[in-house]
């Protein structure tokens, strides 16, 4: 578990393809790596990665094909900057909100403009995530815990204060930037709880072109 409070910005130094998936190397000299152990979890742009090798100034992690397909990691290359946060400990302060490091979808920055000393961002989320995004609720963007200032359908607004802008990769966002999104885990569990006994029933497949073709409606 994480808080969404970024500790430092790291830099991807290598993305190596091995057996169909990827081994990632990230370096961040400002982080105290003496506290990191093999098997520890590190949120990297909001993606929970497991340390398989410690370096003097970073770590290596294996990345599955599923993670590559569901996050922005598939587009990373040497030089990509990423937000880093180590996992919570019992002594940690929960400064942001409860973050799992399991990305729910990829959003896109559609607007950015200055507002006094802050920056205003608009991000379009996948339609499937819109129901979990609430005005003044919490959302994780590339691992950063943020408050939703406004929401209109699948588009939500953020106000980024100077400190957050300086200490995270949000400083590099522009129109078209793709970002990892994780919705509030409480909303996820609440939805499941409200299903009641229906939660135990398998989901029925929806009507798709493939379904219609398979059942002889058209060729």
Over the stretch 158-190, which tens digit does the pLDDT of each residue have? 999 999 999 999 999 999 999 999 999 888 888
In the DSSP assignment, the letter for residue 129 is G
For residues 3-25, give the mean pLDDT. Answer: 96
Q: Does domain 105-197 have CATH number 2.40.30.20?
A: yes
Contact predicate 138/183, CB 8 Å: no
In the DSSP assignment, the letter for residue 154 is T
Take residue 13 and report the two structure tokens written for it.
Answer: 């130094």
* Greatest pairwise CA separation for the chain in angstroms: 63
* pLDDT at 210 exceeding the cut of 80: no
Contact predicate 169/45, CB 8 Å: yes
Q: Which of 32-36, 62-66, 95-99 tops mean pLDDT?
A: 62-66
Name residue, tokens 């400064």: 95
E strand or H helix at 188: helix 185-194
* pLDDT at 219 exceeding the cut of 60: no
Q: Does domain 8-86 have CATH number 3.40.190.120?
A: no
Confidence (pLDDT) at 165: 96
Higher pLDDT, 37 or 218: 37
* pLDDT at 206 exceeding the cut of 60: yes
Over the stretch 112-164, which tens digit does the pLDDT of each residue have? 999 999 999 999 999 999 999 999 999 999 999 999 999 999 999 999 999 99
* pLDDT at 204 exceeding the cut of 90: no
**Residues spanned by CATH 2.40.30.20 within the chain?**
8-86, 105-197
- Give the span between the Cα atoms of 21 and 39, in whole angstroms: 19
Categorize the per-residue pLDDT at 98 as very low, low, confident or very high, splitting at 50, 70 and 90.
Answer: confident
* pLDDT at 99 exceeding the cut of 70: yes
For residues 29-34, give the mean pLDDT. Answer: 92
Among candidates 5, 12, 9, which has minimal Cα distance to 63? 12
For residues 104-116, give the mean pLDDT. Answer: 97
DSSP 63-79: E-HHHHHHSGGGG--TT
Of 63-72, 150-159, 196-205, where does mean pLDDT reach its minimum?
Answer: 196-205
Over the stretch 35-66, which tens digit does the pLDDT of each residue have? 899 999 999 999 999 999 999 999 999 999 99
- pTM for the model: 0.88
106: helix, coil or strand? strand
Task: Phi first, then psi: give them for residue 117, nearest 5 degrees.
Answer: -90, -5
């Amino acid at each position: 578990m994480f808080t969404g409070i970024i500790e430092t910005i790291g830099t991807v130094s290598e993305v190596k393809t091995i057996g169909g998936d990827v081994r990632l190397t990230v370096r961040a000299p400002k982080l105290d790596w003496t506290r990191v152990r093999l098997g520890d979890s590190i949120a990297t742009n909001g993606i929970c990665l497991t340390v398989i090798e410690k370096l003097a100034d970073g770590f290596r992690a294996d990345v599955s094909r599923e993670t590559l397909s569901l996050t922005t990691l598939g587009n990373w290359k040497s030089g990509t900057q990423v937000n880093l946060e180590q996992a919570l400990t019992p002594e940690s302060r929960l400064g942001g909100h409860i973050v799992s490091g399991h990305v729910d979808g990829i959003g896109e920055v559609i607007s950015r403009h200055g507002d006094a000393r802050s920056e205003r961002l608009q991000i379009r989320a996948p339609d499937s995530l819109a129901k979990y995004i609430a005005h003044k609720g919490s959302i994780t963007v590339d691992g950063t815990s943020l408050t939703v200032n406004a929401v209109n359908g699948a588009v939500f607004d953020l106000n980024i204060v100077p400190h957050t802008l300086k200490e995270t990769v949000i400083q590099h966002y522009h129109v078209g930037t793709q970002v990892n999104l994780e919705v509030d885990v409480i909303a996820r569990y609440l939805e499941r709880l409200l299903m009641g006994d229906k939660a135990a029933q398998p989901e029925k497949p929806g009507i798709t072109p493939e379904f219609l073709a398979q059942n002889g409606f058209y060729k």
